[in-house]
Amino acid sequence: MLGWAVTFLVIAIIAALFGFGGIAGASAGIAQILFFVFLVLFVVAMVARAVRGKPPV
């Protein structure tokens, strides 16, 4: 999921360089949403691992 966020961020940067503001804004928004979903899933996984008694890696 983090890879998809980086991909959309790169698309947004390239689109902004070429002047496509709408595409750049949409891609940046998608990248931001994917990044926050990744963070939430990562924290949930770490909490679940800690509850089961395994130390975080």
pLDDT in tens, 17-45: 999 989 999 999 999 999 999 999 999 99
Query: pTM for the full model?
Result: 0.76
Q: Residue 57 above 70 pLDDT? A: no
Q: Residue 56 above 70 pLDDT? A: no
Long-range pairs for 11-15: beta carbons < 8 A, 24 or more residues apart: none
Q: Binning pLDDT at 50, 70 and 90, where does residue 50 land?
A: confident
Contact assessment for residue 34 and residue 1, using Cβ atoms and an 8 Å cutoff = yes
Q: Residue 47 above 80 pLDDT? A: yes
Q: Where are the domains of the chain?
A: 2-51
Spatial distance between the Cα atoms of 32 and 11, rounded to a whole number of angstroms: 13
- Cα 21 to the center of its chain, rounded Å: 20
